[in-house]
Chains A and B, each alone.
Chain A
Amino acid sequence: MEFLGLSLALFGAALAAALAGIGSAIGIGIAGGAAAGVMTEDPNKFGSCLILQALPGTQGIYGLLIAFFVLNKLGLLGGAGAVALNWNQGLQILASCLPIAVVGWYSAIWQGKTSAASIQMISKKPEAMGKAIILPAMVETYAVLALLTSILMLMGVQVG
């Protein structure tokens, strides 16, 4: 049972990177489909479509960021060797990873749907690009808040 803490913490890091990454992949996929459809009509919209498609990609980055944060905290990067962790601390780190894992996963999918709708919007009204960017960004707010929660929780957990 000596490594249970470490395993729990790693499980948390894996969830953060994996779930948020899956969400972003799905979200970007949804937006990409819409973008490809619009570009068959008007290839010149590639630039604006790409920006809108990239918007749901940040959740995956937030997840990766938390995963690295955890690995760094555990001392697994840089060859200094892992810190000692009891199962309680491991569970705490796992809990800290959950906000970005769950919210990142789900919000990226919905952001992707909003992005797809925004892409449809600029296909008809290219001048509405500003509004088209803001609508998906409204969804991302909650991913940002989850990221913040995860960061603050992780900083609060004492290890070593």
Chain B
Amino acid sequence: MGVARLKKAELYYHKSVHDQIAATLQESGACQIISTEEDKVQRPSDIEALISRNDDKLSEVRYLSRTLTPVYVDPVPALDRMLGERPDVTMSELEELASKTDLQSICEQTRAVEHEAGEVRSKLSEARTNTALLADLKFFPYPLSVFTEGTRTLTALAGTIKAENVAGFKAALGDLSKYVADTEVVVAPFDEKDKAQSVYVAVIYSRSIESEIREVCAKHGLSFVEVPASFAGTPEEEQEKFAASITQLEKKESELADKLSELAQENVPAVQKLSDYYNSLSSRYNEMARSEETECTMLTKFWLPVDRAEEVKQKIEAISPDVALFMSDPAPEDEPPSLLKNGSLTRPFNILTELYSSPAYRGIDPTPLLAPFFWIFFGMCLGDAGYAIVVFGTILYVFKKYKKMSLGVKDFIKLFLFCSISTFIYGVISGSFFGNFIDSFVPALVPLKNSLMLVDPMTNPMQVLGISLLIGIVHLMFGLLIAAYDKLRNGQFIDAVGNDLSWFMFITGLTFLGLGMGGMLPPHFVQIGQAMAGLGAVIIFIYAGRGKGWNIGGRIISGFLALYGSTSYLGDILSYSRLLALGFGSAVIGMVINLLGGLAADIPYVGWLVAIVVIIGGHIFSILINILGSFVHPLRLQYVEFFGKFYTGGGEPFTPLTLSQEFVNVKA
């Protein structure tokens, strides 16, 4: 339980075996390499060479998975893959695959296809633009070569002009053509009423008045349209040509897409395996590059959990006689990383601590301390026996179906498996089964349900509110005791008593007092409570004035200020009322769903069907939304109310050198 003890290992070895050593350390998954110096610039030369060679391979793999994965149709559904349904391979199989696979030629093929597809795409878009332009030029009755080549004396221009300027434009050109014949204006048909629209016009004119024509065009706001040089025939003829080439290009495009997905189908499985392989090598070399070197030897330092030490030592010493491994306990000035080590019951709760912050190596691991509370809180928030059965059953099914889940995923799911048990218990004692399903639809079971009920939030919410707040007080007081223990451990006796135990006595005393007066505890608890609260208050009062010497006025003021701090405890305790509110929330949402189902059942003929859909769909929705709330709010109670009393985290998590397992399960 708690933070695992680590050893600091110093490993000296001959350079000839450095890769085997590195592989062994990586495959053990238990060694976190330590930098010998900060900002190390010079990497050992042997490793430097390996890194640059590996980086080339890695960039090829990355290119392939970036290009091919989007078109790859994975035969394994994504969810299955996430839950561990992936191929198992060993490192030596991967090595063989790597030597067999010609990544470079796959890359070349892929690049060729990609390049061609790019060209086809740009040709296609050009053809489509031209077709659109031709559609606009359809009003022009002559071959388009007039624009592009013209005759010896004639040429033409095309452009768009605002509808309201068309008349003026024509008139101006008419004036020009008084002196030079052969000027002709062709205007595309347009709607006379819409003055603002752009209208296509074409002007055929004698080359001799080129500049005058341009002047008129500019004056009337004509914007020129470039007619591509390849256009020769009439717009219709040209369009036909493009239509043919577009069909051809589209066919080519789909052929290339097929080719790419063929390449993907063929290569992605291998590329994914190799991606894990080269990424493993990359992290191996980059981590090992922190080693020191002499001419023939290397020195690697790493952290290693005590319980894996013997196994790793044996593996390393089996490699070569030319190694020396020294292990020592962390020195006081060392800041080792922290690895949470908990039994199978509390391990699923590790993630809750890690989400906040890992404990310092010499600090307290709060996981086993928060686990029972989180379990109870989650149960009270979700609080429905029916929902618990659904969650429990689903998780059992998942565990049965997927055997190869990674440990992290498995632990996270297990967290909900555990919590579904507390949910079931609280559901039974508060009489909630799919909301009020039993009362609404199965009246025969009502006596059974009622006989098992210990609390009834629906008719007596104050009772459950009281229980929630009491649990809150226990939780907070437990936090204070841990804080006191932590301080005592470090020899801070005065602080432990003044800061933590005093508040513990004060609040516990007040609680006893209240419960005793309310008749929920025997009457002598009133006296005990008074004594405890009084003593606690006195200590708080005195402790607050520490370091003020005989400054009596200052001591009195700081003492009262400290006692005023009890409002923050009041806030903390009231925060636990959310346990009632969320439990209530899921029960009432369930009730609403049953009610809607009941109403739907009154619809003639299809009512029963609608009712079933509403009830099943509604409860699934309710389970999902309430699990989210039941996870988040108990977690907040741990982080804000509980951790606030004693825990700051601040440790670096233990991150050993491991094999990359993004796509496949790699075994050593």
For B599, list chain A residues within 8 Å (CB): 77-78
Q: Are B581 and A144 in contact (CB under 8 A)?
A: yes
Is the C-beta of A131 less than 8 angstroms from some C-beta in chain B? yes
Assembly CA distance A141 to B629 (angstroms): 11
Q: Which residues of A are found within 8 Å of B595, using beta-carbon distances?
A: 68, 72, 77-78
Cα–Cα, bound, A140→B636 (Å): 11
**Residues of chain A with a CB closer than 8 A to B639's CB:** 134
Roughly how many angstroms separate A65 CA and B583 CA in the complex, as a whole number?
Answer: 13
Bound-state CA distance A108–B592 (Å) is: 22
Binds B, one of A1-9, A25-33, A54-62, A81-89: A54-62
Q: Does B577 contact A (CB under 8 A)?
A: yes
> If A55-B632, A133-B632, A134-B639 touch, does A64 touch B592 (CB 8 Å cutoff)?
yes
A155 contacts B by Cβ under 8 Å: yes
Contacts of B356 in A (CB 8 A): 130-131
B598/A137 in contact, CB under 8 A: no
Give the complex CA separation of A43 and B437 in angstroms: 40
Contact B589 A61 (CB under 8 A): yes
The answer to whether B578 touches A54, judged by C-beta atoms less than 8 angstroms apart, is no
Contacts of B632 in A (CB 8 A): 55, 133-134, 137, 140
- Do A130 and B355 form a contact, CB below 8 Å, given A65-B585, A78-B595? yes
Across the interface, B581 reaches (CB within 8 A) one of A130, A131, A151, namely A151
Q: Count of A residues near B, CB < 8 Å? A: 30
Q: Which of B574, B578, B581, B635 contacts A134 (CB 8 A)?
A: B635
User: Which of B578, B580, B588, B628 meets A65, CB within 8 Å?
Assistant: B588
Residue in B461, B578, B591, B592 whose beta carbon sits within 8 Å of that of A152 in the complex: B461
> Which residues of chain A from 38 to 66 have a CB within 8 Å of any chain B CB?
51, 54-55, 57-58, 61-62, 64-65
Report the count of interface residues on B (CB-CB < 8 A).
Answer: 32
Q: Are A141 and B580 in contact (CB under 8 A)?
A: no
Q: Taking CB as reference atom, which chain B residue is nearest A54?
A: B628
In the assembled complex, the CB of B469 is this many whole angstroms from the nearest CB of chain A, namely 12
The reply to whether the CB of A148 lies closer than 8 angstroms to some CB of chain B is yes
| A159 lies within 8 A of chain B by Cβ | no
Q: Which B residues from 581 to 597 make CB contacts under 8 A with A?
A: 581-582, 584-585, 588-589, 591-592, 595
CB-defined contacts of B499 to chain A, threshold 8 Å: none
Contacts of A129 in B (CB 8 A): 355
A-side binding surface: helix, strand, loop or mixed?
helix
Any chain A CB within 8 A of the CB of B259? no
Contact A148 B580, CB 8 Å, known A65-B588, A133-B632, A138-B636:
yes
Q: Tell me what chain B mostly uses at the interface: helix, strand, loop, or mixed.
A: helix
A145 within 8 A of B: yes
Residues of the A chain whose Cβ atoms lie less than 8 Å from the Cβ of B588: 65, 68-69
Q: Which B residues, 618 to 643, have Cβ-Cβ distances below 8 Å to chain A?
A: 625, 628-629, 632-633, 635-636, 639-640
Q: Is A147 interfacial (CB 8 A cutoff)?
A: yes
**How many Å lie between the Cα of A155 and that of B460 in the bound state?**
9
Q: Give bound CA distance, A138 to B636, whole Å.
A: 8
In the bound complex, residues from chain A placing their C-beta under 8 Å from that of B234 are none
Please indicate the chain B residues that have their CB under 8 angstroms from the CB of A138 in the complex.
636, 640
**Contact between B625 and A137, CB atoms less than 8 A apart:** no
Residues of A within 8 A of B629 (CB): 58
Q: Measured between alpha carbons, how far is A95 from B578 in the docked complex, in Å?
A: 21
Q: Is B530 an interface residue (CB 8 A)?
A: no
Interface: B54 (CB within 8 A): no
Max chain B C-beta neighbours (<10 A), residue from A77, A137, A140:
A137
Cα A51 to Cα B639 with chains together (Å): 19
Q: Does B511 contact A (CB under 8 A)?
A: no
Contacts of A54 in B (CB 8 A): 625, 628
Nearest Cβ distance between residue A27 and chain B, in whole angstroms?
15
**B575 touches A (CB below 8 Å):** yes
- CA gap between A151 and B581 in the complex, in Å: 9
Q: Closest residue to B632 on the A side, CB-wise?
A: A137
A-B pairs, 4 with minimum CB distance: A130-B355, A148-B581, A137-B632, A144-B578
Other 9 A-B pairs with CB < 8 A, given A58-B629, A78-B595, A137-B633: A55-B628, A61-B625, A77-B595, A134-B640, A137-B635, A141-B578, A148-B581, A151-B581, A152-B461
Question: What are 11 A-B contacts with C-beta separation under 8 Å?
Answer: A51-B628, A54-B625, A77-B599, A134-B639, A140-B633, A141-B636, A145-B574, A145-B578, A147-B581, A148-B581, A152-B461
Chain A positions near chain B (C-beta within 8 angstroms): 51, 54-55, 57-58, 61-62, 64-65, 68-69, 72, 77-78, 129-131, 133-134, 137-138, 140-141, 144-145, 147-148, 151-152, 155
Residues of B within 8 A of A (CB): 352, 354-356, 461-462, 465, 574-575, 577-578, 580-582, 584-585, 588-589, 591-592, 595, 598-599, 625, 628-629, 632-633, 635-636, 639-640
